[in-house]
Amino acid sequence: MYIPMFCPECKSMLISSGGQLKCKKCGYIRKIGGDDQLKVKKPRKEKEITIVDDEGEKVKTLPTIQIRCPKCDNNLAFWWLRQLRAADESEVRFFRCTKCSHTWRQYD
């Protein structure tokens, strides 16, 4: 038998506590019997992560910026932004040298 998770009196959600269901709004209490079953959600499966490796291709559609490459001292690089950390933190800037294809990052 399925246990209704909402209060029959005020329609608020019931909270499970100590073998009973309680309503915080009106105080309704229902004991959980032996033949009652709670509906349990199955844990979500992690989605597969696909890593895109574009190192082999020369990316020529990205914007460029004048910045010194730490490897070959070239003054032009492609750049792009990625959100690697939490959503409330700033993005990470990536640079790739147009001459030697060295890639580095810059944090804010």
Catalytic machinery residues: 88-89
Task: Find the distance separating the first CA and the last CA of the chain, reported in whole Å.
Answer: 56
Contacts of 97 (CB under 8 A, 6+ apart): 69, 71, 72, 74, 76, 77, 103
Q: How many CB atoms lie within 10 A of CB 25?
A: 13
Contacts of 47 (CB under 8 A, 6+ apart): none
Confirm if 50 and 72 have CB atoms less than 8 A apart: no
